[in-house]
Amino acid sequence: MTAYALALIMDRRLLIDLPTPCRLEETLEPNEVNWLFSNIASYYFRLTKYNFHIDYNDNLILEKNFLKFKRHKDVIIVRTGLNLIRHLTLNPEHHTKIKSLGYSVDTFNLENVFYDWYKKLFKFKAHLEPIYQNMLKISKPTNQTKLICAQIRVGGGFDSQFMHPKQVKLFWKQIRDKLIEQKDLDDFKLFITADKKFVIKEAVEEFGNDKVIGFKDRSFHISNVYNFLPFLKKNTCDKVGGLYLDFNMLGICDMGVISHSGFGLVGILNRENKLDLANFYVFTNPTEKKKRFVSNKNLSFHQFNTSLLYIQFNNLKDNIDYIIP
């Protein structure tokens, strides 16, 4: 999404080359915007290029006028794991362009544009769409059924974040105390997406097999290459497709509990009613994470707030007050 925002600002064409662990176009395909890298692959080697890598402690995004950025280069290769759309409004020289795109300075941010841009850029490959539609029917069998979602990132191993299994049990307590009992819910389903198989098993033990929807073969972290070594995993694209299915499910939840991770935070933003997030809680410690983003010290549940999307940027100079109220 950051690359798309930059493309709009710079009047450039967005292309996506995401080859691992499964080529993106094997699971998601272009919708309104044709971003296929294969369109230029045959002559890509002849094009002039500039590598633009934005890291967590990088101030580059704050200092550039992207209206005039590297115009002499055919291709700007953007690499970042950060949501930097809102940061582009910090440069007043971008404001006229942003308004010409149909946004105000206040609405050009991830939380406002994600749902619309996701639909514009992506749709499921044909083999995934009926699976998704079936998941919707299972999750909301009646118009009265409330869908509760739990996105739980345990981490560990090669993942820098780690949550103790005892902390997982706090998710079940939060669901019971804040989402089921206080809402007096009887007709509900609980959708689980997690990076460890034991989480789904535990959810079934807590709430019953008839209430829980979860897929153990989707329990992995996409950036951990050890999940995808060819001699261990032969269904990589199926696994990645399953993750995209889970991600889309988060956008239809009526309420939920999520870990402080991009998958969960952005997933619940992916909904038409962008303000319908009152019944979502994030397992986090905002004060501690401002100091060290990967910290899992003294976590508890906080009502979802868009400021949680930007805690990781606390090292960007002159930007703390703007991003975190």
Quickly list DSSP for 102-154.
Answer: T--TTT-SHHHHHHHHHHHHEEE-TTTHHHHHHHHHHH-SSTT-EEEEEEE--
Residue 268 has pLDDT above 50, yes or no: yes
| Stretch 104-126: mean pLDDT | 96
Q: Count of CB atoms within 10 A of residue 252's CB?
A: 17
The rounded percent of the chain whose pLDDT value lies above 70 is: 87
Q: pLDDT at residue 69 above 50?
A: yes
Q: Is the pLDDT higher at 181 or at 188?
A: 188
> Whole-angstrom Cα distance, residue 71 to residue 308?
34
pLDDT confidence of residue 36: 98
pLDDT at 76 over 80: yes
Residue 161 pLDDT class (50, 70, 90 cuts): low
Average pLDDT over residues 213-237: 70
Instruction: Give the C-alpha separation, 265 to 305, whole Å.
Output: 10
What pLDDT sits at residue 231? Answer: 44
| Residue 219 pLDDT exceeds 80 | no
Domain boundary (62, 91, 124) is at: 124
Least confident residue range of 57-66, 117-126, 172-181: 57-66
Domain termination residue (choose one: 75, 92, 124): 124
How many domains does the structure of the chain reveal?
A: 2
Together in a domain, 177 and 306: yes
Residues 273 and 193 placed together within one structural domain of the fold: yes
pTM above the 0.85 mark? yes
Residues 133 and 241 in one domain: yes
Alpha-carbon span 325 to 320, nearest angstrom: 8
N- to C-terminal Cα separation, the chain: 23
Least Cα distance to 253 among 190, 202, 206 occurs for 190
Mean pLDDT, to the nearest integer, of 101-114? Answer: 94
Given a cut of 70, whether residue 148 has pLDDT beyond it is yes
Examine the domain organization and report whether 118 and 133 are in the same domain. Answer: no
Domain range enclosing 37: 2-124
Among 124, 141, 167, give the residue marking a domain's end: 124
Express as a percent the part of the chain with pLDDT over 90.
63
Q: Which residue has the tokens 């699971």?
A: 27
* Judgement on whether residues 231 and 315 belong to the same structural domain of the protein: yes
The string of pLDDT tens digits covering residues 17-43 is 998 888 999 999 999 999 999 999 999
Identify the weakest region by mean pLDDT among 15-19, 234-238, 289-293, 312-316: 312-316
Q: Quickly list DSSP for 160-190.
A: EEE--HHHHHHHHHHIIIIIITTTT--SEEE
